[in-house]
Structure 1
Amino acid sequence: MTAQTPDIPTGAPRAVLADDERLMRDQLRARLAEAWPELVIVAEAKNGAEAVELVEQHRPDVVFLDIRMPGMTGVEAARQIAQMEVGEDDVLPEIVFITAYDQYAVEAFEQGAADYILKPAERDRLKLTVERIAKRLAAKRDAADEPGQDPSAASASGLPIQQLLHRLAASGGTKPAYLKWIQATVGQSIQMIPVEEVLFFISDEKYTRVQTPQVEALIRKPIKELVDELDPERFWQIHRSTLVAVNAIAAVTRDFRGRQIVAVKGHSQKLEVSRSYTHLFKGM
């Protein structure tokens, strides 16, 4: 893990670069210096775990992640980064994956909430990536300057990041086996709840509440594990502690503070959308 300590000009975009191959990091750093001279590489990582640690420490604007790294992969690191808490003045970083050519992965990127660079980094393709990311960062800054606007809503379009990560994880051609049943505590008994009946999941420090139209139950599995085990096309994460069934969303409104609030079909619960996930409803 290499932490850079450059003098960072005010307002300059900052990045963390993660690749287990030093030569690839050196090449990408050099190409980025050509394509995006304003960008400051604040730190470099050799694996996904280091990348997560450095993103937590430096809160960069962009993270360049090699998909295949030893230990924690780039996809797994991106999943943890997407779960990070952000403060009032922060948003999650833009994610750019570094990958060898893989048509399935490239198709996922083209629809998704992140960009990609093919190895080796070609100047023309890198220039396009830089233009896209710079435009997104500018949109975030503009949104931050406008009262009532949410910078995170300007982060990305298309497929939600969790769906993209699931597609990348399955890019070897094997479809993930998602949960079909939830074994949960209801009163003094254990019940098997079909996932298709669940309206939403909400976690606290110890338990996760499972809500169906008829039943409220508790499980010990945290949201960060459920995110990986549920079909991301059927359940969207809207808060670090909340997953909601897409077909259970009745409406999305804004409260007096400008926060997005999800109304659930057939239930009185109102679910807050955190700033990191407002892009899911960016038309609101």
Structure 2
Amino acid sequence: MTSPTPNAHPTALIADDEPHLLRHLQALLQQAWPGLVLLEPCRNGLEAAAAIAAEQPDFAFLDIQMPGLTGLEVAQGIEGATRVVFVTAYDAYALQAFEAAAVDYLLKPLKLERLQRTVERLRSGAADDRLAQAVQQLAPPRPAQPLRWVRASQGELTHQIDVADIIYFHADDKYTVVRTRDAEHLIRTPIQELVAQLDPEQFWQVHRSSIVNLAMLVGTRRDEVSRLYLRFRGLSTELPVSRAYVPRFKAM
């Protein structure tokens, strides 16, 4: 991963649903990094996701457990260059997963000395390309037999769709769109449940809202700000890849 462009006034967003912990992190950051500009804080995951998309801060300090979306889910949806530090009260196993994947975290209760080490990493541009690995390590275990069929109702009809024919799944409001070459179907199964049921060798999550069938990919495209998009056989539609998952496509 390319290090962030040097900035005399880097920006950071804090998201935490516990006001006293949020204020405590703000105060510690002001001590550890006086030149860091703190944006308006967020009190839940939905606010954080929207603010990151709109403001494109250099850094985001995300609580793991938040209403609306978890910190992990917010990180999965980041498409720009915002780099993530998790704020967590997870147990030792989860912390080991973060540490092994070289994703920085702050353990509650927050300590200035630990935060200063985090700041040093951020200011030096230390790579965190293995964010996707940490996310995958904390994902729910997969079943022994991956999902083979998806049932989608449409009026009085029920379609039984072979997963091998599915190009991608994409969350759309209360439903999940199942896209094949010939049609779109709607199901109520959330993306996170599908991730746990599908064959991980064939289906990759590429965004908080999207899962793609690798067999249907024909290539990738980068736009003028280096955001990565996936292209599919027989479709003009492209899907964005959030920053957390971009490293998985480096070999393509």
Q: TM-score under structure 1 normalisation?
A: 0.61
Matched, 1:274 2:240: yes
Query: What corresponds to 1:208 in structure 2?
Result: 177
**Bigger relative contact order, structure 1 or 2, given CA contacts below 8 A and separation 6+?**
2
The alignment partner of 1:15 has SS state of strand
The alignment partner of 2:40 has SS state of strand
Matched, 1:72 2:44: no
Counterpart of 1:157, as a letter, is D
Residue deviations 1:71-112 (CA, integer Å, cap 9, x gap):
33533xx4246336x5xxxx1522221112412321331344
Unaligned ranges ≥5, structure 1: 1-9, 140-154
Unaligned ranges ≥5, structure 2: 1-6
Question: What displacement does 1:184 show?
Answer: 3.7
Contact 2:16 2:43 in 1 (8 A): yes
Q: How does 1:219-234 map to 2 (within 5 A)?
A: 219-221=185-187, 225-231=190-196, 233-234=200-201
Query: What corresponds to 2:9 in structure 1?
Result: 12
Counterpart of 1:134, as a letter, is R
Contact 2:195 2:205 in 1 (8 A): no
Q: Which moved more, 1:17-26 or 1:106-115?
A: 106-115
Contact 1:64 1:96 in 2 (8 A): yes
Contact 2:204 2:211 in 1 (8 A): yes
Q: Which of the numbers 94, 104, 111 marks the counterpart of 1:105?
A: 94
The alignment partner of 1:120 has SS state of coil
Q: Give distance in 2, aligned partners of 1:216 and 1:110.
A: 44
Q: Give distance in 1, aligned partners of 2:43 and 2:230.
A: 40
Query: What corresponds to 1:147 in structure 2?
Result: none
Question: What displacement does 1:183 show?
Answer: 1.2
Residue deviations 1:88-140 (CA, integer Å, cap 9, x gap):
xxx1522221112412321331344842111122334323322333344xx8x
The alignment partner of 1:125 has SS state of helix
Q: Give distance in 1, aligned partners of 2:102 and 2:236.
A: 26
Q: TM-score under structure 2 normalisation?
A: 0.67
CA separation of 1:220/1:100 partners in 2, compared to 1, >3 Å: closer, same or farther? Answer: same
Q: Give distance in 1, aligned partners of 2:32 and 2:208.
A: 35
The alignment partner of 2:49 has SS state of helix
Count of matched residue positions in the alignment of Structure 1 and Structure 2? 235
Query: What corresponds to 1:24 in structure 2?
Result: 21
CA separation of 1:268/1:112 partners in 2, compared to 1, >3 Å: closer, same or farther? Answer: farther
Q: Give distance in 1, aligned partners of 2:165 and 2:57.
A: 36
CA separation of 1:99/1:203 partners in 2, compared to 1, >3 Å: closer, same or farther? Answer: closer
CA separation of 1:270/1:13 partners in 2, compared to 1, >3 Å: closer, same or farther? Answer: same
